[in-house]
Chain A
Amino acid sequence: MRDFPPQVSAWTDARDGAGHQAGIGVPDTRGPLRFLWWLLRQQGDLVLAGCLCSLLWMLPTALTPWVFGQAVDEGIRAGDAGRTALWCGVLLLITLVGASSGVFYHTVVVRSWLYAAYGQTRLVTHQVTRLGHVMPRRAPTGEVLSVNGSDGDQFGHFIEIFSRLVGNVVAYVLVAVIVLQISVPLGLVVLLVAPVLALVSSVLLRPMAAAQTRERSRDSELTSMATDIVAGLRILRGIGGERIFGANYARQSQRVRQAGVQAGSWGAFVEAVGVLLSGLFVVALMVLGVQRVRDGDLQIGELITFLGYALFLVQPIRVVFEAAQQITRSVVSARKTIGVFGTTDPWPERAPLEPDQLRALAEGELVDASSGLRVRPGRLTMVVSALPDESARLADRLGRYLPAGDTVPSGDDEATGRAARRAAAERSRVRADLESRDAERAQGAWGVTLDGTDLADLPLDQVRSRVLVSDTAAHVFAGTLQDAVDPHRTLRREQAEAALHAAAAEDVYDILPGGWQGVLDERGRGLSGGQRQRLVLTRALAADPPVLVLVEPTSAVDAHTEARIADRLPTHRRGRTTVVMTASPLLLHHADEVAFLVDGAVVATGTHDELVTGHPAYRSTVLRGDAEAAPAGSTTTTTTTTNGTTQEVTP
């Protein structure tokens, strides 16, 4: 039988020993119901075992009223010790079967729940790593994460309720057979009235569910407020506002309380109605039963059996309604999941180049058609733009990344009804639209050539192995410092040390207790902006790609350290093609060639000195740009700007 944690092979080349795709494969995303069916088929043996165990577990409760009634009629009242012993034996048998199935049932349910939930986590991981920067264009981070968290849990629920439902329905049918054999009219009453009762009480479930949804949505806003207070705590304690935001939180907390009390009283009402209805059902059976006994149609033990079933039958019917609710929720979850799992990879299939062809390629010139940038092999080229966004876009193009900015808006979880459906339809339209636009961009010529070969003619993975773009949003992962600098564990220590030195990141090494084995928190939390930036730079340099594109690698670094980096970077990258997007004179000084970008096109090239003397617009961008942003010297800054020249900053 399957066990957790599951193997997952979807979207990878993972094969088992026999060459088959092992474990969970690519999910069926043609529709929510098909997805749920796929989910059940994924763990068919567990689901079957679950259904069987749940039936066995139900057996004693389903059969006890009947066995007890028989024991009373045939044994106890008749004074027949043999029959009594026989029925007691039957009861013992089913009790033992039921009680010992409990442990198996529990085990199977936990197994299949976790198989589904862990499977979901791994599928999300596989899909995200397969799609890379395309993923955030299709779904916001929060949505991808909720597909893992709440939706994964929901699928666990789904499989659990499925097996419970099957067990209960079979038990119900079993009871129906018993009851009808004893007395057809009473049997019909039992079988028909019980569903009607459950149906009546289910009408009340809707407002209760609405109240619970309101409570949840207010509560999640409250949690957001708490996180927000913590995130802005420096301001609240540094500048003030404790009272205002404390009061805001308290107000929302009271709104949650009100919604909670409301949801609670709906719950109380549903339960009270349930008590009343099922109680009246028992009373009706009392009256009818006594009538039948009086008429001589029914024995006393059989009356007890009926009373027992009047109490028992409510349960399977409740399960049916719970299942209906859970399945509805699962369909919603399945729809969201399909949005993430159904996303396709826009890149074309390309035959990989041979290793030496690939090596030769990287020794050629890198040319971007749309800006006219030509990067000579083995040289350090820097690109200056008055608008940092422009150079970031250029970097994306050089690395074959789809242009930033296109995303699908996030949905509202709590919205219901027609408006929500319309919004969801709109979102999937936007998503499909973007998907086809991206595919078009990805399939056609890219416009960036390496040694004359368009990047679109290479498999994406080979592009990534040649050209590394380290952008400003580069992520630092939790783990040891060594993992952060050498994620593939392929470096020698000397190489890592050299990269650390070139990025002037020795102090990052210094502050972490444990050196290379020192632990970084997620997103490099705990490091300053400058330290994080130099760590990212260290990683990029340590990766040592044939073509390296660095986007504003020193924007958060102080001038002293920046000067150090500027000094060491060219030596470290000597003979390798390097492109740096920057406007810092400290770095530009060391460039072999500088390209000046205006409105997305290269308007001038040369060394820094040549451009400073020969190109006024360039001079004002690199020498004045920062002065405008400088917060400290308001008066002098203003004069600098109004003069519009750079003379006074030259000593």
Chain B
Amino acid sequence: MSDLLDPELRARSARTWRDADDRPPVVPDLLHPPDPGTTGLRDRHRLLWQRHALRRERAQAHLMTALDPDRGLPVARSRTVVDYLRGLLRERSRLVVLVTLANGLAAAAGLAVPLLLGRLVDAVDLSGGDPAVGVVRDLVLLVVVVLVAQAVLTYAAKGLAAVLGQGVLAQAREHVIRAVLRLPLGKVESASTGDLVTRVTRDVGSMSGAVRWALPEFIIGVVTVLLTVVFMVLNSWALALPTLVTASLSLFQIRRYLQQAPAGYLLEGATYSDINTTLTETVEGARTVEAYRMQQDRRSAGVDDIEVSSQAERYGLVLRNVLFAVMDMAFSLPRVITLVVGAWLYSRDAVTIGDITTAMLYIETFYGPFDRLVGTIDRLQVGVASTTRLLGIAEVPPDRTAGDDRPEGSTLVGQRLRYAYRPGHDVLHGIDLRLEPGERLAIVGPSGSGKSTLGRLISGIHAPTGGTVRVGGVELTELPLELLRTEVALVTQEHHVFRGSVRDNVELARDGAGEDGVWRALATVDALDWVQALPQGLDTVLGSGHHEVTPAQAQQIALARLILADPHTLVLDEATSLIDPRTARHLEGSMNALLTGRTVVAIAHRLHTAHDADRIAVVTDGRIVELGSHDELIAAGGEYAALWRAWTS
């Protein structure tokens, strides 16, 4: 049987086919702990750290590939992100100062309370348990004033922080979408959208967490931690010393954690998205799974994903445990040391009971903000990683520069066209083609012959790697995009209906066409009846979760767009236009209204499309092998004639 295949293909097939199931396990065996009772405690301990190191390597390796994808869109450098962020903050410098100030004052007020409580304890203690009424009253009043101030300042500080975070975030995400909307046409047509979808969903989400929450919290955290230290020292430097020493000792471990954590969390995030992708496929393909009895395979795929994800989670778990072990000790031991030191100093009359009380209260409040600060830096780092991918979108170089020449006439001429997706692998080998205004040309040929590529060249999506495509004497790719669209349009996947009003969905083809223009276009494609019947007419919002249109209506909207865009030449690619035969039947009139009076190039799958055209070009292996009217080609008795006979006889 296999001798049916071409020998080169057969050789490659033999080389790449795997007979035995020799796929390596999804995670190396080294990552599994030994069975209980098989190894001694020492060995278990050693193996634990060995696994941790291995997981770190995996996380680092993932970080490298995530930052430097071998295909898809570029990734910006961290430096760019920091500069961009700094720019956004500079635009709001007054707000930043206000947030810092309000938080500083709120934190100071909060820190004043333990100090005042300490004074109260002293007042009671030093008076032998019977403090002067005036002193107590003054202290109570002072605490009340401080508390009210703290409450008001907290409200202002958190509120302003929300304004700052939300403002920066909104501006950043709008910047990203603008960059998406500026992506070069050629890139959009050739790249798969998966990478971009991930960026505008997951990466925007992660940036959002960082900017909206972590950025303000970072400011708050830094201010609070610094002020706590200041107040501790102000209260009593001797009693502050134990905390400061242990806290600074823990900084070493915190630094290590912060260096290693982002790669770990990035990997965790990626594994969850893998789990989700696999499950999504299992759900969407539920019927296929059932038909091919692939239940066990899909379950195993899920188990594999979870296994990989578990390993990423274990890495994070150990990282945090090491951090917590150090931090928990560093922040709770001072409690005991301070008490011992306090007791000793008290016995030497160096501190009062009030001082010790205040110091002990500070120790209890120090851990919270410090712990949050570490968490914040974590999130910020992950956010920066995501933002590098978002800003990378803006770094795609433009694929054309518009010239000043304007076309004279609407004749489209392609000469000696060559194109290679990979250097040295031409898919078109010097094609000459001249389209007379108003003619219908059908391009037919087997898949992989280059006919879709030819369609992209004559609609100005890609510049040819050799030869020229000119309309009215001007190179297509030297026209400004706005002008190109009025000359020639490639009709692909036009069944997409945007989330937006009917008006937006149609008017997009000619911004500013106005109400009348939109209605006229809809009338031309016979879409008047159903649009008028919509609850809010042109303002009815379409898309999933809103008003859903039928495939035929979606197609009419697509055709109305083209009516409005009004190019003199249309390139219809049946391979990608997905014109559904079930709806096409009803759209005949709408379609004819669009095509009347235009030059049409149809990359045809169906032979009737070819039969009805003025001329037919048969493309094989990147060359036009037959060109002429249906009758001429039938008379010539070539490949087209043979195909036609097979169809109709």
Contact A477/B285 with A84-B343, A232-B496 known, Cβ cut-off 8 Å: yes
Complex interface: stretch among A125-133, A355-363, A373-381, A433-441: A125-133
Q: Across the interface, name the chain A residue whose C-beta is closest to B589.
A: A638
Q: Across the interface, name the chain A residue whose C-beta is closest to B645.
A: A651
Contact of A389 among B194, B276, B280, B582 (CB under 8 A): B582
**A167 near B: Cβ within 8 Å?**
no
CB-contacts of A233-283 with B (<8 A): 233-246, 248-250, 253-254, 256-257, 260-261, 263-265, 267-269, 271-273, 275-276, 279-280, 282-283
- A268–B162 CB distance below 8 A: yes
A238 to B461, CA, bound (A): 8
A566 to B449, CA, bound (A): 19
Q: Across the interface, name the chain B residue whose C-beta is closest to A149.
A: B276
CB-contacts of A136-156 with B (<8 A): 136, 141, 144-145, 148-149
A384 to B173, CA, bound (A): 52
- B281–A510 CB distance below 8 A: no
- B613–A633 CB distance below 8 A: yes
B368 to chain A, nearest CB (A): 10
A359 to chain B, nearest CB (A): 17
- A237–B183 CB distance below 8 A: yes
Residues of chain B within 8 A (CB-CB) of A518 are: 16
A265 to B19, CA, bound (A): 63
- B16–A487 CB distance below 8 A: no
Residues of chain B within 8 A (CB-CB) of A564 are: 446
**B424 near A: Cβ within 8 Å?**
no
Contact A88/B291 with A244-B504, A283-B147, A632-B600 known, Cβ cut-off 8 Å: no
- B585–A268 CB distance below 8 A: no
Complex interface: stretch among B78-86, B136-144, B254-262, B520-528: B136-144
**A159 near B: Cβ within 8 Å?**
no
- B297–A487 CB distance below 8 A: yes
Binary interface profile of A, 84-113, with partner B (CB < 8 Å = 1, else 0)?
100110011001001110110011001000
Size class of B's contact patch?
35 or more
7 contacts between A and B (CB under 8 A): A132-B295, A226-B200, A227-B200, A265-B158, A516-B13, A521-B192, A560-B445
- B143–A264 CB distance below 8 A: no
Contact A244/B310 with A239-B562, A516-B13 known, Cβ cut-off 8 Å: no
- A236–B181 CB distance below 8 A: yes
CB-contacts of B1-45 with A (<8 A): 1-2, 4-6, 9-10, 12-19, 21
- A507–B447 CB distance below 8 A: yes
- B576–A529 CB distance below 8 A: yes
- A240–B612 CB distance below 8 A: no
Residues of chain B within 8 A (CB-CB) of A141 are: 280, 283-284
Contact A300/B13 with A118-B309, A237-B188, A239-B508 known, Cβ cut-off 8 Å: no
Residue among A228, A273, A389, A634 facing the most chain B CB atoms (10 A cut-off): A634
Residues of chain B within 8 A (CB-CB) of A279 are: 113, 143-144, 147, 150-151
- A493–B140 CB distance below 8 A: no
Q: Across the interface, name the chain B residue whose C-beta is closest to A136.
A: B286
Complex interface: stretch among A27-35, A172-180, A186-194, A498-506: A498-506
Complex interface: stretch among B232-240, B334-342, B468-476: B334-342
A103 to B10, CA, bound (A): 58
**A526 near B: Cβ within 8 Å?**
yes
Residues of chain A within 8 A (CB-CB) of B574 are: 558, 631
A293 to B294, CA, bound (A): 77
- B162–A516 CB distance below 8 A: no
**B267 near A: Cβ within 8 Å?**
no
- A630–B608 CB distance below 8 A: yes
A98 to B327, CA, bound (A): 12
A93 to B140, CA, bound (A): 35
Residues of chain A within 8 A (CB-CB) of B159 are: 261, 264-265, 268-269
Residue among A118, A126, A248 facing the most chain B CB atoms (10 A cut-off): A118
Complex interface: stretch among A73-81, A418-426, A445-453, A594-602: A73-81
- B279–A632 CB distance below 8 A: no
**A287 near B: Cβ within 8 Å?**
yes
Contact A235/B166 with A103-B325, A121-B302, A626-B606 known, Cβ cut-off 8 Å: no
Q: Across the interface, name the chain B residue whose C-beta is closest to A256.
A: B170
- A268–B157 CB distance below 8 A: yes
**A620 near B: Cβ within 8 Å?**
no
- A632–B440 CB distance below 8 A: yes
Complex interface: stretch among A37-45, A331-339, A364-372, A464-472: A464-472
Contact of B294 among A79, A487, A509, A629 (CB under 8 A): A487
- A634–B591 CB distance below 8 A: yes
Residue among A474, A531, A559 facing the most chain B CB atoms (10 A cut-off): A559
**A53 near B: Cβ within 8 Å?**
no
Residues of chain B within 8 A (CB-CB) of A641 are: 588
**A5 near B: Cβ within 8 Å?**
yes
CB-contacts of B554-593 with A (<8 A): 561-562, 565, 572, 574-576, 578-579, 581-582, 584-585, 588, 591-592
- B445–A516 CB distance below 8 A: no
- B498–A232 CB distance below 8 A: yes
Residues of chain A within 8 A (CB-CB) of B170 are: 253-254, 256-257
Contact A125/B279 with A226-B177, A559-B647 known, Cβ cut-off 8 Å: yes
Residues of chain B within 8 A (CB-CB) of A510 are: 9, 448
B328 to chain A, nearest CB (A): 4
Residues of chain A within 8 A (CB-CB) of B507 are: 241, 244
- B489–A238 CB distance below 8 A: yes
**A514 near B: Cβ within 8 Å?**
yes
Contact A494/B2 with A626-B608, A630-B609, A631-B602 known, Cβ cut-off 8 Å: yes
- B292–A64 CB distance below 8 A: no
Residues of chain B within 8 A (CB-CB) of A442 are: none
- A245–B508 CB distance below 8 A: yes
A554 to B40, CA, bound (A): 64
Residues of chain B within 8 A (CB-CB) of A328 are: none
**A135 near B: Cβ within 8 Å?**
yes
Q: Across the interface, name the chain A residue whose C-beta is closest to B605.
A: A558
Binary interface profile of A, 366-402, with partner B (CB < 8 Å = 1, else 0)?
0000000000000000000000110000000001010
- B575–A311 CB distance below 8 A: no
CB-contacts of A618-646 with B (<8 A): 623, 625-638, 640-641
Residue among A219, A507, A637 facing the most chain B CB atoms (10 A cut-off): A637
**B277 near A: Cβ within 8 Å?**
yes
Complex interface: stretch among B122-130, B374-382, B428-436: B122-130
Which 4 A-B pairs have CB atoms at the shortest separation, nearest pair first? A633-B612, A264-B162, A241-B508, A132-B290
**A124 near B: Cβ within 8 Å?**
yes
Residues of chain B within 8 A (CB-CB) of A586 are: 646-647
- B565–A240 CB distance below 8 A: yes
**A573 near B: Cβ within 8 Å?**
no
Residues of chain B within 8 A (CB-CB) of A507 are: 447-448
Q: Across the interface, name the chain A residue whose C-beta is closest to B317.
A: A110
A286 to B59, CA, bound (A): 53
Residues of chain A within 8 A (CB-CB) of B286 are: 128-129, 131-133, 135-136
Residues of chain A within 8 A (CB-CB) of B329 are: 99
Q: Across the interface, name the chain A residue whose C-beta is closest to B157.
A: A268
Residue among A110, A279, A521 facing the most chain B CB atoms (10 A cut-off): A279
B294 to chain A, nearest CB (A): 5
Contact of B9 among A60, A509, A511 (CB under 8 A): A509
Residues of chain B within 8 A (CB-CB) of A92 are: 336
Residues of chain A within 8 A (CB-CB) of B283 are: 128, 135-136, 141, 144-145
**B47 near A: Cβ within 8 Å?**
no
Residues of chain A within 8 A (CB-CB) of B163 are: 261, 264
**A325 near B: Cβ within 8 Å?**
no
**B401 near A: Cβ within 8 Å?**
no
- A275–B448 CB distance below 8 A: no
CB-contacts of B166-187 with A (<8 A): 166-167, 169-170, 173-174, 177-178, 180-183, 185
A67 to chain B, nearest CB (A): 9
Contact of B333 among A95, A469, A558 (CB under 8 A): A95
Residue among A246, A555, A629 facing the most chain B CB atoms (10 A cut-off): A629
Residues of chain A within 8 A (CB-CB) of B157 are: 268
